[in-house]
């Protein structure tokens, strides 16, 4: 029961991050949870010398030293303190649905959690679900991950006869705004390999994510009084339409899934004389990713050539890369070990390519190979978020199983 109690405690702390604050961490509530975790770590018996709390940037690292004579790799687990700014995380009020019958769940505040909209609910028939009251997100993303990691640590502290290597844990701020690894201290963390525990459904394992770039296209036109514009005016907004029109509709977020990449027009603003378009470009495949960047450059060149007198610049920069190239060639055992631990617990592993980036992808490119595994929740970032008690318990056990697999190798 302790992982559940921890989870229910952690979600009482409002840790929503903020895109706007410009601070690190972006919000002060994350400090509150970091301090709770430091206290919990001390209370469960991690010595103060094995806890590093970066009070400036709000990172918590802790280590349970190995008890083996053998040389066992230090395995790490990471989850994030913040919740998404897309929904409130303040005054989270949970509801328990015992022995779920597969029907509609009334959350309150006019919100229904219904299997006709969220068919995965049916997987949880007979289980105990934790939902919101329809006003806030739940915070299973990623406080379920934190609770599972903490309870796994406690298990090894309470069972000192079980042989294991160093277990390193880290709790990081601002994952939801893409800044989770900004000040991550690999040395303080001390793991040889790690997992972010930040995925969804039980069994999920991800070691692929997008390659990502952003493109800012600036179009300069020529403004003339519309009454005298013939053969003189160049309307930068119309040129923007042409550029976007050259990108096939089949390569948009709303028309793609799985490993299909896309161009996403995030924003467009301007007037006759100047228009700015912002795209993000995504593809799992490195070659297709490069091709997409090249294509948008070419489209801009061609459009500029077709409109003498207009100016088009495309600033394209890479944001992050697919971690698969850091995991599969040289570190596939990290994936295999996790899958073995899952199978031993009767969990069917599900390979899920992430249609986004992960903190683990960033860390993989900093030298710490780091796939992402399930934390158990569903419908992240909104009021329909839920998790089952059974998933939290199983994932807590799975994390211990992974540690044991490393010790066995």
Residue positions annotated with a catalytic role: 82, 175
| Residue 142 in the binding site for Zn ion (CB under 5 A) | yes
Q: How far is the CB of 358 from Zn ion (least distance, A)?
A: 8
Q: Select from 41-49, 193-201, 210-218, 240-248 the region that touches Zn ion (CB under 5 A).
A: 193-201
Q: Select from 133-141, 206-214, 326-334, 363-371 the region that touches Zn ion (CB under 5 A).
A: 133-141
Neighbours of 15 (CB within 10 A): 28
Tell me which residue of 352, 356, 325, 326 sits closest to 261, measured CA to CA.
356
Burial of 353 from C-beta contacts in 10 A (0-12 / 13-18 / 19+): middle
**251/385 with CB nearer Zn ion:** 385
Q: Select from 53-61, 195-203, 207-215, 284-292 the region that touches Zn ion (CB under 5 A).
A: 195-203
Write down the H helix ranges in 122-184.
140-158
| Cα gap 73→171, rounded to integer Å | 20
Q: How far is the CB of 354 from Zn ion (least distance, A)?
A: 11
Q: Which residue has the tokens 């909104």?
A: 382
What single-letter DSSP state applies at residue 83? B
| Cα gap 179→365, rounded to integer Å | 15
Q: How far is the CB of 355 from Zn ion (least distance, A)?
A: 14
**235/358 with CB nearer Zn ion:** 358
Q: How far is the CB of 375 from Zn ion (least distance, A)?
A: 7
**314/361 with CB nearer Zn ion:** 361
Q: Select from 122-130, 141-149, 154-162, 239-247 the region that touches Zn ion (CB under 5 A).
A: 141-149
| Cα gap 57→327, rounded to integer Å | 28
Torsion of CA 324, 329, 334, 337, to 10 degrees: 120
Report which secondary-structure segment, H or E, holds 181. none
**40/198 with CB nearer Zn ion:** 198
**130/407 with CB nearer Zn ion:** 130
Q: What is the total count of residues that contact Zn ion (CB under 5 A)?
A: 3
Residues of this chain that interact with Zn ion (CB under 5 A) are: 141-142, 198
């Amino acid at each position: 029961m302790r992982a559940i109690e921890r989870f229910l405690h952690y979600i009482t702390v409002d840790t929503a991050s903020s895109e706007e604050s410009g601070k690190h961490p972006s919000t002060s509530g994350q400090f509150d949870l970091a301090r709770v975790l430091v206290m919990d770590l001390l209370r469960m018996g991690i010595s103060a010398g094995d806890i590093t709390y970066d009070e400036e940037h709000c990172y918590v690292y802790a280590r349970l030293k190995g008890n083996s004579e053998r040389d066992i790799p230090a395995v790490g687990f990471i989850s994030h303190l913040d919740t998404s700014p897309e929904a409130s995380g303040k005054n989270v009020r949970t509801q328990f649905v015992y022995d779920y019958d597969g029907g509609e769940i009334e959350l309150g505040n006019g919100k229904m959690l219904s299997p006709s909209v969220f068919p995965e609910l049916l997987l949880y028939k007979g289980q105990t679900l934790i939902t919101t009251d329809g006003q806030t997100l739940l915070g299973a993303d990623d406080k379920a991950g934190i609770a599972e990691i903490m309870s796994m640590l406690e298990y090894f502290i309470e069972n000192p006869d079980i042989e294991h290597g160093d277990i390193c844990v880290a709790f990081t701020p601002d994952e939801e705004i893409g800044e989770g690894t900004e000040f991550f201290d690999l040395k303080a963390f001390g793991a040889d390999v790690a997992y972010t525990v930040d995925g969804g459904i039980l069994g999920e394992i991800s070691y692929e994510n997008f390659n990502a770039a952003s493109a800012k296209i600036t179009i300069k036109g020529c403004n003339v009084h519309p009454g005298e514009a013939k053969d003189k005016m160049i309307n930068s907004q119309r040129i923007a339409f042409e550029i976007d029109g050259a990108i096939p509709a089949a390569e948009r977020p709303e028309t793609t899934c799985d490993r299909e990449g896309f161009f996403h027009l995030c924003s467009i603003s301007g007037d006759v004389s100047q228009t700015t378009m912002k795209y993000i470009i995504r593809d799992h495949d490195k070659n297709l990713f490069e091709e997409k960047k090249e294509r948008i450059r070419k489209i801009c060149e061609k459009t500029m050539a077709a409109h003498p007198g207009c100016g088009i610049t495309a600033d394209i920069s890479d944001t992050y890369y697919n971690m698969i190239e850091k995991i599969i060639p040289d570190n596939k055992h990290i994936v295999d070990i996790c899958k073995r631990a899952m199978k031993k617990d009767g969990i069917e592993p599900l390979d899920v390519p992430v249609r986004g980036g992960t903190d683990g992808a960033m860390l993989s490119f900093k030298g710490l190979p780091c796939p992402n595994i399930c934390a158990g929740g569903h419908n992240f970032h909104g009021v329909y978020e839920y998790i089952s008690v059974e998933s939290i318990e199983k994932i807590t056990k799975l994390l211990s199983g992974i540690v044991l697999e490393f010790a066995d190798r």
